[in-house]
Homo-oligomer: A and B are copies of this chain.
Amino acid sequence: MVVTHKKLSSSSVEEISNQQIDILNAVDDAFGGVIVEMKEPMNSNVFDTLLRVSISCWREQGKKGIWLKLPIELANLVEAAVKQGFWYHHAEPTYLMLAYWIPETAHTLPANASHTVGIGAFIMNKKREILVVQENNGRFKGLGLWKLPTGTVDVGEDIVEAAIREVKEETGIKVEFMELLAVRQSHNVSFGKSDLFFVFMLRPLSFDIQKQDSEIAAATWMPFEEYAAQSYMQKNEHFNYIAKICAAKIDNDYTGFCALPATAVSSRRRKSCLYFNNHGGVVVPNTI
């Protein structure tokens, strides 16, 4: 939908509706609202008028929420939407999603993503040595602290896959899933968002370390006791407990969660994965 650049008078609404374009293209959502995804360039005055007419129309139709997706190339349209009462819902590098609520009641639109997600990897070889790294960046830079490989889970990425990927990237070691040992939730981590951190035990499938130079200052196999005895591990309550959990696991005195991939029965057939304690096969006979 390309509209030529021209200055619109106050009679423009009628003018436009007498042309081909009545209101903005929209599709219904499943909750009584509409979704507008702008794609083509548009003059902001033209957009302002079209949006005003469109909202009136959707109000008459009894619509509730309006989603307005503006690609970053159409940043010139943001101000007009905000002036008409839209607020920012979320943004990704390539677009901004704005929202508007027509009814008088409080809106029931779903919240934006609230958490970043990270992983830590506990990997032991047959000599009771564990894979540890020192980082080039971040809060542990230059402290000489040996720590478990960690990393960030991408959108759409399984937490286990993220752990396997991060270990490979940072150390060159191939690993496979054994168990989810623990989960930690923290708050106010990045931009006020909360964070969920999953600690996995992974089985090494290779042993020759090829460290990544950009993020990792050093990587080695280290006796578990030496790792756990670092003074920082004693001072940090959660590092300390995670080391105790790993120690219990080494002694066969700990059961974490297994992973069971499944496809939820829904119209979208999303892939998902369930983590739970399957000790003794009490829930399901065979799990990975």
Footprint of B on A, CB under 8 Å? 31, 72, 75-76, 78-79, 81-83, 87-97, 108, 110-117, 137, 139, 152-159, 180-194, 196, 235-238, 241-242, 244-245, 248, 253-257, 260, 262-266, 268, 270-277, 279-280, 282-284
CB distance from A69 to the nearest CB of B (A): 9
Question: Which single residue of chain B is at the shortest CB-CB distance from A251?
Answer: B282
Q: Are A277 and B256 touching (Cβ within 8 A)?
A: yes
Given contacts A75-B79, A235-B265, 6 further A-B contacts (CB under 8 A): A113-B113, A113-B191, A114-B155, A115-B196, A255-B277, A277-B277
Q: Report yes or no: B184 in contact with A154, Cβ–Cβ below 8 A.
A: no
Determine whether the beta carbon of A184 is less than 8 Å from that of B273. Answer: yes
Q: Are A244 and B284 in contact (CB under 8 A)?
A: yes
Expressed in whole angstroms, the minimum distance between the Cβ of A154 and any Cβ of chain B is: 7
- Out of B75, B156, B244, B279, which one reaches A187, CB within 8 Å? B156
By beta carbon, the residue of chain B nearest A71 is B88
Cα–Cα distance between A103 and B274 once the two chains are bound (Å): 41
> Quick check: A156 and B188 within 8 Å, CB to CB?
yes
The complex places the Cα of A184 from the Cα of B245 at a distance, in Å, of: 22
Task: Check A117–B270 contact: CB distance below 8 A.
Answer: no
Given A241-B284, A248-B282, answer yes or no on A186-B116 (Cβ-Cβ < 8 Å): no
Report whether A185 and B238 are in contact in the complex, using a CB–CB cutoff of 8 Å. Answer: no
- Option from B91, B154, B275, B284 in Cβ contact (under 8 Å) with A88: B91
Quick check: B188 and A268 within 8 Å, CB to CB?
yes
Residues of chain B contacted by A154 (CB below 8 angstroms): 111, 114
A235 / chain B contacts, CB cutoff of 8 Å: 265
- Specify which chain B residues have a CB less than 8 angstroms from the CB of A253 in the assembled complex: 280, 282
In the complex, what distance in Å separates the CA atom of A279 from the CA atom of B255?
Answer: 9
Roughly how many angstroms separate A72 CA and B271 CA in the complex, as a whole number? 36
Whether the Cβ atoms of B75 and A272 lie closer than 8 Å is: no
Residues of B close to A152: CB separation below 8 A: 110-111
Nearest first, the 7 closest Cβ-Cβ pairs linking A and B are A91-B91, A186-B272, A88-B91, A182-B276, A75-B82, A113-B113, A237-B262
Contact of A283 among B72, B196, B241, B284 (CB under 8 A): B241
Q: Which residues of B contact A237 (CB under 8 A)?
A: 262-265
Given the known interface contacts A114-B115, A235-B265, the answer about A156 and B90 at a Cβ–Cβ threshold of 8 Å is no
* Chain B neighbourhood of A95, CB < 8 A: 88
